[in-house]
Amino acid sequence: MSKIIRIGTRDSELALWQARTVQKQLKEQGYQSVLVPVKSMGDLVLDKPLHELGITGVFTKTLDIAMLKGEIDIAVHSMKDVPTVLPKGIVQAAVLKRGNYMDILAFKHNEEFLSQKEAVIATGSLRRKAQWLNRYPTHEVVDLRGNVQTRADKLEDNDWNGAIFAAAGLERVGLEFENTIGLTWMVPAPAQGAVVVVALEDDEFSKTACAELNHKETEICTTLERKFLNLLEGGCTAPIGALAIIKDTNVSLKGVLLSVDGKKRIEVEFTSKLGKHENLAEACVERVFSRGGKLLMSEIAGVSKKPDVYSTKKLTTEQVARFDTDITVDSEDFIQISLNRIPRLALKATHRNVIITSQNAVEALIASINPDELKFENIYCVGRKTKRLIEKRIGKVTHFENSAKELADYLVDSIEGSTATYFCSNLRLDDLPTILADHKIELTEIEAYSTKKSPLKIDDAIKGVLFYSPSSIESYLQENSTDVIAYCIGDTTAAEAKKHFSKVHISKMPTLESVIDLVNKDYE
């Protein structure tokens, strides 16, 4: 147990309480740890309601990035803030025993306003706002953001009748209001009152340490609630509540979906025997949909903030976080990749010169043969990430360039001999084979992976589209117009884009991150 576990946490009072609780429990199990506080976007941007920030995981993504960069070992979150799908490489390591899951109303003077036509209630939660308006349709609900103490101060300083808080948050920071009412009729956020610990998937030490903190009953309930949320495809942008409770040998799950204005409400509840509860969330969602839930979700999506730009490659949480906060982005893969099974006989032969222009080709090689069996004398590749992957999994790279054309130009002057093996895709528009052929360099092409166009119609309001290959442009054009700005990863992609788009911008480096930086600069 010599490793000191670095615990990432937001630096708010509540977040630090949660992180110290984890630290204390780890210490009781014999593990050493240190806190690493980090500010999140949700803490920094306080002038907009959460749903207007246009992203999920607004309080967690900064810690996700820190973990993926190796700056922390685990992260501690209020579980209700965590997206239902964790970033690739990050897993749930433990859920602590749940605290109070209720919402409470803190009010100033008396409760008379509850029976009056006019009143002002403050909350930054779309779920709380919708449920309040469903019960009190003539009241006004104003936005309230900030940490627990900041929100309490704002209630005191403003002429509001009351404000809604999570009971667990108040209890954990020791904040008491003189007048409060438990909102037993309000369905809480999925996993409200629970604290979750996440870790890197390949960090066995941290996962083993955190597993000892896991509370099984809380894990069962929060898993059901978050599954209900996930199946409804909701996040910060949809008014969704869920609560699972275990009593004796039964598990019950209550779920609610409302319109943003609270005028429409669909509430369902199912009960099952413990151990046979796996499909409770599906049953609840199916009932919600049968009562008009799909139409309601479509209406909610229609009033949500539409994206400004679209990426033709699915973005990771870390990549989305790289965009400036005032840019809303959506993404999907316009090219589907499938790795080919490369004949072992072809791979076991000695290859004097090998050319690899994609990480997909590296993955195909690794999937087809044990890298120790490869006999590659010289490896030439395109891109730093491809180079890093090759040297991590296969062997040393002789030379790399930032584009296929630049690599071809280099090989014309520097290749040893006059033959090379090119592990490539079935679809490509790069100039490398042509340039080498013009200079009498014989190229043996082996299709390591296949690419298939997967076009998708995007919203007409999109102003810019990010492209990473000529094939992604061809796929995009099958369903969409050219009345957008094309942000391109390199010269080859840009050359294809210029045939169709009037505005084409090229990133300085042939990396996805560089394309995002190009968008950020354009939106300054």
- 279-290 pLDDT, tens digit per residue, is 999 999 999 998
Other residues' Cβ atoms within 10 Å of the Cβ of residue 81? 21
Fold for the domain defined by 309-334+454-522? Rossmann fold (3.40.50)
DSSP, residue by residue, 301-318: HHHSPPPSEEESSPPPHH
CATH of range 103-182; options 3.40.640.10, 3.30.70.1140, 3.40.190.10, 3.90.25.10: 3.40.190.10
Residue with the two structure tokens 């246009």: 54
202 is a catalytic site residue: no
In terms of Cα–Cα distance, which of 335, 330, 328 is closest to 310?
A: 330
- If 0-12 CB within 10 Å is exposed, 13-18 middle and 19+ buried, where does residue 45 land? middle
DSSP reduced 3-state for 106: strand
Fold for the domain defined by 337-453? Rossmann fold (3.40.50)
What is the rounded distance in angstroms from the CA atom of residue 357 to the CA atom of residue 405?
10
* Each residue's pLDDT tens digit, 160-180: 999 999 999 999 989 989 999
Strand partners for 354: 379, 421
DSSP, residue by residue, 376-387: EEEEEEESHHHH
Q: Which residue among 81, 103, 203, 430 is the active-site one?
A: 81
Average pLDDT of the chain, as a whole number: 89
What is the rounded distance in angstroms from the CA atom of residue 291 to the CA atom of residue 298?
14
C-alpha dist (Å) from residue 80 to 98, 110, 222, 328: 12, 31, 9, 22
In terms of Cα–Cα distance, which of 194, 144, 197, 198 is closest to 169?
A: 194
DSSP reduced 3-state for 292: coil
Task: Write down the domain spans for the chain.
Answer: 1-96+192-214, 103-182, 216-304, 309-334+454-522, 337-453
% pLDDT > 70, the chain: 93
* Each residue's pLDDT tens digit, 422-441: 999 887 656 899 999 999 99
* Each residue's pLDDT tens digit, 221-262: 999 999 999 998 754 468 999 999 999 999 999 999 999 899
The number of C-alpha atoms within 13 Å of 301 and in the hemisphere containing its C-beta is 11
What is the rounded distance in angstroms from the CA atom of residue 498 to the CA atom of residue 15?
49
CATH of range 216-304; options 3.30.70.270, 3.30.160.40, 3.40.50.720, 3.30.9.10: 3.30.160.40
- How confident is residue 43, by pLDDT bands cut at 50, 70 and 90? very low
C-alpha dist (Å) from residue 20 to 1, 242, 514: 19, 27, 38
What is the rounded distance in angstroms from the CA atom of residue 110 to the CA atom of residue 162?
10
Domain at 1-96+192-214: CATH code: 3.40.190.10
Equal fold, 309-334+454-522 vs 337-453: yes
266-272 LR contacts (CB < 8 Å, sep 24+): 266/291, 266/292, 266/293, 266/296, 267/187
DSSP reduced 3-state for 76: strand
Helical H segments across 10-100, by residue range:
13-28, 41-44, 61-68
* Each residue's pLDDT tens digit, 345-359: 889 999 999 999 988
